Chain A
Amino acid sequence: MSTTARGMVSALAVLALALIYLSWAYSYPSPARDLPVLVGWVLLALALLDIAAHTPSRVGRYLRQLLSGQALDADRDAGAGAPPPLRRHLGAMAWPVGFVGAVWLVGFLAASALFVFAFMTVQGRARPLAALLAASVITGVIWLGFEIGMRYETFRGVLFGG
């Protein structure tokens, strides 16, 4: 996706969020809704401006430069390499999500060890022995720092009574 297209997608997402937020804010009585409604309207206006600034037209180009002084996104695209595919972005985001899921199940200590090992071997293609050593060290540091040093019991996970 080019920078301009990425900008348009994100601007549309902001517009959608602004509409949802504004309608939600109106569901509250005054004075609770006063400032949220004001923020919602300004957000909506800025989202529309952002959309206009990302249209491939003279108006869009003028708005982009007026609001940011930046060169055309297309000019920046020419020098940039191809952005990573969507699955790589999703993959990168999936790691911390998976880690938190593992924490919920088996607790921090076990999940940290699993996370470090899996990340190094799968994402980093490290040798299993090196990954195992790193996982042990990092889990050891967490255990020593929190459970021994701070005398704090970390979350044990729902499977182990957490």
Chain B
Amino acid sequence: MIESVLAGLAGMGTLAGAGYLCLGVVVGLVFGAVPGLGGVTAIALLLPLTFGMDPGLAIILVGGVMGATSFGGSIPAILINAPGIALNAATTFDGYPMARQGKAGMAIGAAAAASTLGGIIGIAILFAVIPIAKQIVLAFGPPEFFMLAVLGLSAIAVSTGGAFLRGLISALFGLALAFIGYDAFSGGTRFTLGSEYLWDGIPLVPALVGVFAIGEMINLTLRGGSVAEAREAVRISRVWDGIRAVFRNYPILLRGSAIGTFVGALPGVGGTVAAFLSYSAAVQVSKHPETFGKGEIQGVIAPESANNAKDGGSLIPTLAFGIPGSAETAIFLGVLILHGMEPGPMLLIEHEGVMFSLILAVMGSSMLASLIGLALARHLALITLIDIHLLVPAVISVALVGVYAINGSFGDVILALIFGLIGYLMIRFGFPRITLVIALVLGSLAERTFHQSLAMSDGNWSVFADRPIALGLMIVALICLILPAARFLWRSRAGRAGPKSQ
């Protein structure tokens, strides 16, 4: 492991490595700062552009983006009450009031320091878990991996907040799409409509670019205007006071980082939940909870530390099991496929050095993002004034050129367009896209391990219950599936008990 870490460091230490890291950070900051874009769109856009690159450098670039978008999104959240990405929403609660009180610089300084330290703590926990993760991976067989895929899909669906049922429907739709193409077990093709293009299945990169980048741009077309409605020049000052405040409030930092890492490790749950949990935990333990929501700096530190720590957490299931922990890591798996690395349980074992490049890039990015972000804070805020009518055609044009560049196939462009329309319809009708994408990634793993499990047991389905780890995962998956109903029933009972006690 030490050799792999040193190899990863060496990769980043070259001029090219450092250059791509900085580029990734700048892209991440810009995309994080523009509401409606975000890290998912950034990585989806960069994905086809990494085609001709060295795999190690491509991963450093993507790691740079992943570590930077959270802080990029906090700047408009603080300055104009418009979170750059969903996981910065909790930052607006106290960040914007601070800006209105003339303390924007202090809030941004606190966000920068909390993001950096939260990201480092998340990666440190990841480093601690990796050696154990490898042992766990080797103890898993086909039944365990199938149940893990089922658990991953169940957990993701539950994590979609109030769209649990639609999250499940999206996941099943994704699985259905994953079955398109050649089937190794029967030796024939399925659902290809006679098209040779689909013999190898749905290519992941065009699908991801379509669902996230194109779909999002269609949605922005409807919104129109620009993100910020008025040009606000905010004096950025007292940044160092904000940085010092993070160290003074280290319990909040540590708690937020732990929450972010743990929640980030749950597939599909993501930084938004982590940020809100961290914020509410900070309110609950505070001696002065009434100050939150009115410009309390702890209300900035808590969510910002969590939403960067989640990057390390989300890499745990991604690298150990090939199960994406977030939308960004799902698209990151597309980067791996593009560069000939098969996502899955053996990734950490066969490509350890490359994976450590990613981990170190994410850590380096969260540090670099804060430094660059602080220097560019006011300019980043001006990005929110860019007219959407310039942004949309630019992003669509570049995205589709990139998709075409992968294989030189116009079929990829058409597929990206189709998935873009699907992605937009999913936004409009409230179907989570993240579950579709993760199911598309997990589908082939799920089917392969399903058939392998039945082959091992001569067709006996009890193989999933006879093995303790598989049984445990199945039970957890069932708990995930009944969780929304249980929560509702508990809340109903609590609501009925309240009036009676009076």
Interface residue ranges, A against B (CB under 8 Å): 6-7, 9-10, 14, 17, 21, 24, 28-29, 31-32, 34-36, 39-40, 42-43, 46-47, 49-50, 53, 65-70, 84, 88-89, 91-93, 95-97, 99-100, 103-104, 108, 111-112, 115-116, 119-120, 123-124, 126, 134, 138, 141-142, 145-146, 150, 152, 154-155
Contact = CB atoms under 8 A, between A and B. Distances in A.
A36 B192 CA distance: 14
Contacts of A42: 172
B173 A43 contact: yes
A28 B190 contact: yes
Nearest to B170: A14
Given A35-B447, A96-B420, A116-B393, A68 B179 contact: no
Nearest to A95: B221
B421 A93 contact: yes
Given A43-B172, A96-B217, A123-B221, A115 B185 contact: no
Interface in B157-180: 161-166, 168-169, 172-173, 175-176, 179
Contacts of B169: 14, 43, 46-47, 50
Interface in B395-418: 396-398, 400-401, 404-405, 408, 410, 413-414, 417
A115 B396 CA distance: 10
Contact of B404 (A46, A99, A108): A108
In the A-B complex, the 3 residue pairs with the closest CB atoms: A124-B389, A32-B186, A70-B162
A89 B222 CA distance: 7
Interface stretch (B94-102, B296-304, B426-434): B426-434
A157 to B, nearest CB: 10
B405 A146 contact: yes
A116 B394 CA distance: 7
Interface in B375-392: 387-390, 392
A64 B429 CA distance: 15
Contacts of B408: 155
B222 A88 contact: yes
Nearest to A113: B397
Contact of A134 (B179, B217, B390): B390
B429 A39 contact: no
Contacts of B389: 119-120, 123-124, 126
B429 to A, nearest CB: 4
Interface string B446-475: 110011000000000000000000000000
A68 B162 contact: yes
Contacts of A32: 183, 185-186, 188, 190
A99 B400 contact: yes
Nearest to B388: A124
B336 interface: no
Nearest to A43: B172
A131 to B, nearest CB: 9
A153 to B, nearest CB: 9
